[in-house]
Amino acid sequence: MSLDFSETYKRTGPPPAFSPDGAKVATAVDHHLVLRDAETLAVIFMQDCVAKIEHIEWSNDSDHVLCAMYKKGRVQCFRASDDEWRCEVDEGPAGVAFAKWSPCGTRVLCVTEFKLRLSVWSLLDATCVYVKSPKFDDGRGLDFSPDGKFLAFVRRDKRTDSVLVVDARDWTVASAFDVATEDLADARWSPDSTSIAVHDAPHANKGAMLYSPDGRLLGECEPDGDSKDPSNVKTNQAARVGVTRVRWSSGGSFLAAGGRDRRCRVVNHVSWRAFADLGHADRVVAPATVAVYEETEERASRMGVAADSRDENSDENASRAANAPRNVEPDASGSGEWWDDVLDGDESGFGVKDPVRVAARRKRELESGALVPRYVVRALPASLPIEERVPSETSGDDAEPSEVSCEGVSKIAWSFDDRFLATSDARTPRAVWIWDMVNIELCAVLVQMDDVAAFEWDPRLNRLAIVTGSERVYVWSPDGASFVQIPLPGFTAKTL
């Protein structure tokens, strides 16, 4: 497999954002908004904002762009097809903590600082509608139905959580209902706009619940702690059974709920009961057909490959990484250069590894072909590299998303046709688990040299892309796993 890479372009602040039609890409350079053609990357539009841009978002018409300057409490909107058109939202002393478009593209939603209110500004007549007491100011609890007709709004008033369903046509409350949670963490519409999934914060040790838009409880998925994982004993008070992640499948037929007990439960939309319980253990034992791919770097001489042959696989199997290696075998040649580069003398005369020198030597050897990166298929049972993390004690309104999900299932992603489910677990942060949801079994595990930063499915194919903050992009498909080098010096991939 090969990928084409463009030249590098300067950007600051938020990640670049593609327009919904895929024709344009928006980037921020300090306080400048720059729009480029997605094919040629030629600049087609440029405007200055009042301050450094912190958030960029396209409207559904792929013509209007929202730029948020949270530190200034301002939001500015521009039109790609009209250099003269612009709009500005100023919340005054209340400030702006979060901003987004409505599905119709004619209104801008702003959550003020200190979670005072949600403001819905019309770009047509400059009118504004207020909704009091949003629970979050980071985008959570603010979800439009896929058909664009309703907004699910999580409200916290007098220490009680509730969900408001707001009609997006006239911005009136269509329904309001309390939820059976201790500390509501989020609310998400199903892809068919017929139900709303809510779940408790992980520390609450509660599960996920499904509600109809009028407030009827449709089903509940609550981890009970009866896990086959020996590290999760029901009688152990330290057992973690709260929900960390909830994701609807692409077609809306399934809901995956990841828990702190390192298990992901999948619920169907007919009975709203779990039909799959996917566990993440420290060792991969079964099924016999599972493929465990481990990224490693081996010396060309030991592989029986001359350094010149590295060019044949440079598109897939060669790269440089910023961090010190974990799976690199030490050079046994006993050369003075290796000793000088890797070991330093301390006061007691013992050798101490210098990570900077290790990384520098690794980079040189990758460039020269002395080290050849590749995937190795591990035999079963295969032990995975683990990392112990201390969970944060922060909870409730003061908890950040990263703080309340430092254990258990940390990421969930469905393939475009719901055939595969990709997950990651905080205890094994370098591994990506890929599940076959037709046979309800594990089909592959990818073990990287660095912690997994992000992964996303191809919107049209069963192909998963993974990045780890290194200079490699990893790709899995049912045919196998591979990776390519990013041929840009110093460029590391952290998001997709």
> Edge to edge, what strands does the sheet with 74-79 contain?
55-58, 64-69, 74-79, 82-90
Closest residue by Cα to residue 357 from 338, 330, 332, 329: 338
**Per-residue pLDDT, 13:** 86
How far is it, in rounded angstroms, from Cα 404 to Cα 259? 11
- Phi/psi zone of residue 480: left (φ > 0), alpha (ψ -120 to 50 degrees), beta? left
Three-state SS letters, 296-337: EEEEHHHHCCCHHHHHHHHHHHCCCCCCCCCCECCCCCCCHH
Q: Do β-strands 291-299 and 441-447 pair in parallel, antiparallel, or remain unpaired?
A: parallel
Cα torsion angle, 299, 305, 311, 313, sign: negative
How far is it, in rounded angstroms, from Cα 255 to Cα 187? 13
**Per-residue pLDDT, 237:** 35
Structure-token pair, residue 274: 């779990």
**Per-residue pLDDT, 190:** 95
**Per-residue pLDDT, 335:** 42
Percent helix, percent strand, percent coil in the chain, to nearest 5: 10, 45, 50
**Per-residue pLDDT, 406:** 63
**Per-residue pLDDT, 43:** 95
Structure-token pair, residue 380: 């079963």
**Per-residue pLDDT, 224:** 59
Q: How far is CA 248 from CA 138, 197, 414, in A?
A: 20, 9, 8
Residue found by looking up tokens 């058909």 in the block: 147
**Per-residue pLDDT, 50:** 95
How far is it, in rounded angstroms, from Cα 330 to Cα 338? 9
Tens-binned pLDDT, residue by residue, of the chain (496 aa)? 667 788 888 888 899 999 999 999 999 999 999 999 999 999 999 999 999 999 999 999 999 999 999 999 999 999 999 999 999 999 999 999 999 999 999 999 999 999 999 999 999 999 999 999 999 999 999 999 999 999 999 999 988 999 999 999 999 999 999 998 889 999 999 999 999 999 999 888 778 999 999 999 998 887 654 444 433 333 233 345 789 999 999 989 999 999 988 999 999 988 888 899 999 999 999 899 999 999 998 887 655 544 344 344 434 443 333 333 445 444 444 344 444 444 554 445 445 567 778 778 877 887 777 888 899 999 999 999 998 765 544 433 344 444 445 689 999 999 999 999 999 999 999 999 999 999 999 999 999 999 999 999 999 999 999 999 998 999 999 999 999 988 888 888 999 8
Task: Tell me the one-letter amino acid at 493.
Answer: A
Closest residue by Cα to residue 428 from 392, 382, 463: 382
Closest residue by Cα to residue 427 from 385, 383, 387, 382: 387
How far is it, in rounded angstroms, from Cα 175 to Cα 177? 7
How far is it, in rounded angstroms, from Cα 254 to Cα 383? 30
**Per-residue pLDDT, 19:** 96
**Per-residue pLDDT, 351:** 53
φ/ψ of 350, rounded to 5, equals -85, 155
